[in-house]
Chains A and B, each alone.
Chain A
């Protein structure tokens, strides 16, 4: 099997997660041909001589693409990858839902750039040259091309990436989890609606690290915002969710639990139906901090 890996508007964390498989990754890669993987392998778009006129992406059976689509280069690369591969895997939450970089979608791109660069140009808009123009917002991959498999996570679990790739070699359906973080969370839930408002995470939860997690009270029941109810499971395989283990509430990094779900609206619904005042959450748009693509995060309309 020929494997292609490309990262677009991303941080390389997904690729590092793959490398975190250690010797298992090296062993697995021996069975494949890695035709393109900028993080570890020297393939170039314009030939090894650097003089090609047109971008070349090698043909592959499977392409794993991390990161969203934010500039003209990303779009060109993604379209080419789509043409050159049989199976396209969107790797990580940036690729599946926009991820953290899609938070910028709350502002028009020109305003964001002005905010960052204007003090260097006497307030004038900087005209960039020789580098790709930014698109109007950050897109998930499936807004631009057909995607065959979604593997969310920030980052996706190491062993899960390897498991999926192995499945694709054997041409099997990898069978991704379809539960929520809460479904996989072992903490104690009493189900009593004592909480009316949510607190910010400014003090630690009640947690005894010498006792099993099953004895810890659910974060929401302790009055902290936890995105577990509306977030896809998968961060810890069969184990307890990673953030819960670390003693901090979930923030939703695997994207919506429900296909096509909206983590902000779904969370507000979940809170409202439990009698919790959702207006007690500060900065509500940040409930979409991992899934702001697909037009969910947008610039606020200017007030007259």
Chain B
């Protein structure tokens, strides 16, 4: 009897991008190879060429409609590098505030709208009900609160800066407008509500979600990789400015400046994916995607940041970090722990938003310094929800882009996601008919990365 050999999970759902998981089986129905294919080529690095550099922060936002703020800000910092200027201090502070607020709505979106149905309803739930609408039917109170809080976070951004999705207010030199006392009062009022919600979310997950995560982890033989994230001078978690920290699977690490990234990270292309795959060149071990003995592979996004930082500079998030480390060690490797790490970060960004709003300097009016276009080379990073964003541009004497290299958050995780789906497939597939529940478990390995 002739047997089928390839199972396609397409589209991978409850994620932002466009991907397919293809599982290749051998004649006995065992997994031979599993791949996550990224299906489209957009060419941002090419079509920014020839554009006026100051326009780039308003173009590259369209790389991602879920984290446009991070592209907006990484680009604006890199363009300042090209023009050889430092942003006005007050404007730079406003940019950090917006980055934090954008992290808030993103984390709520991912945890509750995309990932939580797997844990609250379960892989065994009917696929037509395993989603936010199914959650709303079962627990309308929770769904309503989640949707309201996420909407509030987006409205705060829109009220102050014009647009939440595809922002425009960060400009080379700083920010397009200062904050008024009224803006600040309204934002603080809402930010307090968001911190309350963040603490509720962590508590809720501790009771309803993390025990299921821990059960799932116990049955999994997970991958072991390194990690990359941003930290401040004293090793504390940072999302906007800082140095990069590349950690090996054994927990040892090196710190470096964003402008040095090419000495530490190399990119690679495989013919079955339009997304490039970065790997740790600094380890001098090459690149290998064999899930039992990977080489050069590191991960980014929440779990990576929680692993590489020595501490978190806000009190409630630091408490949550200590609890997490006590249970799962450092570095924690289990892929599903991304969800836990994400909620610790939700608490951090909510606390830090309030800190910044309470700082009297937030009302400073020195928001933008004029800039003069010119030839240069600028490299800048910020932490996007999905990981370290690296924007690298070169300009000519007229300030037009001549060359661009972009490493976006998810790109770092393409290689490790390939390892994770392969591991997950080997764990749950035993014959030619794995069925939807098993296939969802494989997708959960991708969803954890929030690609």
Binding site for B on A (CB under 8 A): 7, 9-17, 19-23, 25-26, 29-30, 34, 38-46, 48-51, 70-71, 73-74, 99-101, 103-104, 106-107, 111-113, 115-117, 120-121, 126-132, 134, 154-155, 200-205, 207, 209-210, 242-243, 245-248, 251, 253, 282-283, 285-286, 289
Contact = CB atoms under 8 A, between A and B. Distances in A.
A242 B52 contact: no
A282 B56 CA distance: 13
Contact of B62 (A13, A34, A283): A13
Contacts of B42: 9, 70, 101, 104
B87 interface: no
Interface in B315-337: none
B46 A107 contact: yes
Contacts of B150: 19-20, 22
B236 interface: no
Contacts of B16: 12, 39
Given A13-B68, A39-B16, A48 B439 contact: yes
A155 B68 CA distance: 11
Contacts of B38: 131
Contacts of B163: 242-243, 246
Given A19-B113, A116-B41, A242-B163, 10 more contacts: A9-B40, A19-B109, A23-B147, A39-B14, A41-B13, A45-B10, A48-B436, A116-B43, A155-B65, A200-B52
Contact of A23 (B58, B130, B151, B440): B151
A29 B59 contact: no
B154 interface: yes
Given A11-B63, A246-B168, A22 B148 contact: yes
B45 A71 contact: no
Contacts of A70: 40-42
A184 B130 CA distance: 42
B144 interface: yes
Interface string B1-40: 0001001111101111110001100000000000101111
Interface stretch (B213-221, B242-250, B266-274): B266-274
Contact of B47 (A50, A106, A127, A242): A106
Contacts of B45: 115-116
Contacts of B435: 49
A283 B132 contact: no
A280 to B, nearest CB: 12
A248 B176 contact: yes
A29 B144 CA distance: 13
A286 B172 contact: no
Contacts of A202: 54, 172-173, 370-373
B37 to A, nearest CB: 5
Contacts of B65: 10-17, 155
A21, A34, A245: residue with the most chain B Cβ atoms closer than 10 Å? A245
A132 B39 contact: yes
Contacts of A283: 50-52, 55, 400
B168 to A, nearest CB: 5
B103 to A, nearest CB: 14
Contacts of B271: 126-129
B298 to A, nearest CB: 19
Contacts of B64: 11-13
Contact of B272 (A7, A20, A131, A200): A131
A73 B37 CA distance: 13
Contacts of B179: 209
Contact of A113 (B41, B152, B276): B41
A134 B39 CA distance: 10
25 contacts: A16-B66, A20-B154, A22-B148, A23-B148, A40-B13, A40-B113, A41-B131, A42-B14, A48-B439, A50-B8, A50-B23, A101-B42, A116-B41, A116-B43, A120-B276, A127-B271, A128-B274, A129-B272, A155-B65, A200-B52, A203-B371, A204-B176, A204-B367, A209-B179, A246-B177
A114 B163 CA distance: 35
B274 A131 contact: yes
Contacts, number: 264
Pairs of residues from A and B, 3 with the lowest C-beta to C-beta distance, nearest first: A13-B65, A246-B162, A22-B151
Contact of A246 (B55, B161, B172, B433): B161
Contacts of B40: 9, 70-71, 73-74, 132, 134
A274 B165 CA distance: 33
A49 to B, nearest CB: 7
B252 to A, nearest CB: 29
B33 to A, nearest CB: 11
Nearest to B432: A51
A245 B171 contact: no
A154 B62 contact: yes
B131 A42 contact: yes
Contacts of B136: 26, 29-30
B105 to A, nearest CB: 9
Contacts of B132: 26, 40
A282 B55 CA distance: 11
A43 B399 CA distance: 46
B442 to A, nearest CB: 10
Nearest to B370: A203
Contacts of A285: 50
Contact of A40 (B14, B52, B165, B178): B14
B82 interface: no
Nearest to A41: B131
Nearest to A106: B47
B267 A44 contact: no
B254 interface: no
A116 B371 contact: no
Contact of B46 (A30, A41, A112, A201): A112
A29, A34, A46: residue with the most chain B Cβ atoms closer than 10 Å? A46
Contacts of A201: 54-55, 171
B352 interface: no
B114 interface: yes
Contact of A103 (B47, B171, B269, B272): B47
B373 A243 contact: no
A131 B8 contact: no
Given A49-B433, A104-B42, A209-B177, A242 B162 contact: yes
Contacts of B41: 70-71, 112-113, 116, 134
Given A106-B47, A246-B177, A248-B168, A130 B22 contact: yes
Contact of A42 (B55, B177, B440): B440
